[in-house]
Amino acid sequence: MERAVLEKNDRLAAFNRGWLAGRDVLALNLVSSPGAGKTTLLERTIRELAGHVAIRVVEGDQETSRDADRIRAAGAEVVQINTGTGCHLDASMVARALRELDPPRRSVVMIENVGNLVCPALFDLGERAKALIASVTEGDDKPIKYPYMFRASEVLVLNKIDLLPHVQFDVDQFLARAREVNPRVRVFQVSATRGDGIADWCGWIREQLTQAG
């Protein structure tokens, strides 16, 4: 049953990937545990890239439109997907959202997945890359506790570095564990609230968009 579900999802993800490529649209799948700061990072990214990159957002949550309201206030068009008891987005949900968003050519679609470090790792949505947002408030052992998600992600964004003086978090240990699981992962250290590292993160997005074209 699980294999059949994943195979069906993979076929739909391949369709999404082709649809996006045909429009030169860059899609990124933002994954994290709850509270890591995905929405705050997304708000900051939208504002930093305003006037340079058109951004559309697919917002996934089990309930409410609170995060979608925040994204809309930040200046991006957004489609909300509520999964109810579901713990992740899948390719069919994203396909419907893409048709509704109708992203313009040479734009970026940010897919903010449901906060979960397990299920979203299994489901390809048709994205160019998974970007895993972790935070210094979560503990530096996350890469070895949830290795599949760290292995599945091309990018690792370590958020809330402004809080390092106030928490017990060993950055070197965390990064060593992350690279033990995924030696090729690209790392950004940021503070979405204060702005540290955001220019590098946004620069990477612009590079990826150029490659998508």
pLDDT at position 5, please?
78
Fill in the amino acid letter for 94: V
Counting residues of the chain whose pLDDT is more than 70, the rounded percentage is 99
For the chain, what is the mean pLDDT? Answer: 96
Spatial separation of the C-alpha atoms in residues 117 and 156, rounded to whole Å? 13
Query: Is the Cβ–Cβ distance between 122 and 89 less than 8 Å?
Result: no
Spatial separation of the C-alpha atoms in residues 59 and 39, rounded to whole Å? 9
- Chain centroid offset of residue 69 CA: 18
Per-residue pLDDT reduced to its tens digit, 93-144: 999 999 999 999 999 999 999 999 999 999 999 999 999 999 999 999 999 9
pLDDT at position 197, please?
98
> Confidence band (pLDDT; 50, 70, 90) for 213?
low
Determine whether 175 is exposed, middle or buried from the number of CB atoms within 10 Å of its CB (0-12, 13-18, 19+).
Answer: middle
Residues 137-156, mean pLDDT to the nearest whole number: 97
pTM: 0.95
pLDDT at position 211, please?
87
Nearest CA to 50 among 28, 29, 71, 74?
74
| Ranges of each domain in the chain | 2-131+193-212
Task: Collect all residues with Cβ–Cβ distance below 8 Å to 171 and sequence separation of at least 6.
Answer: 136, 140, 158, 161, 164, 189
Structure tokens at 213: 């074209």
On the question of pLDDT at 37 being above 80, the answer is yes
Spatial separation of the C-alpha atoms in residues 102 and 162, rounded to whole Å? 37
Fill in the amino acid letter for 110: M
Spatial separation of the C-alpha atoms in residues 30 and 173, rounded to whole Å? 23
pLDDT at position 1, please?
61
Per-residue pLDDT reduced to its tens digit, 1-16: 667 778 999 999 999 9
- DSSP class of residue 11 equals H
- Written out in words, the top-level CATH class of the domain with range 2-131+193-212 is alpha beta
Structure tokens at 134: 């972790």
Per-residue pLDDT reduced to its tens digit, 159-171: 999 999 999 999 9
Look at the alpha carbons of 166, 168, 173, 178 in this order and tell me if their dihedral is positive or negative: negative
- Annotate 26-90 with three-state secondary structure: EEEEEECCCCCCHHHHHHHHHHHHCCCCCEEEEEEECCCCHHHHHHHHHCCEEEEEECCCCCCCC
Residues 138-156, mean pLDDT to the nearest whole number: 97
Per-residue pLDDT reduced to its tens digit, 39-87: 999 999 999 999 999 999 999 999 999 999 999 999 999 999 999 999 9
DSSP β-bridge partners for residue 208: none
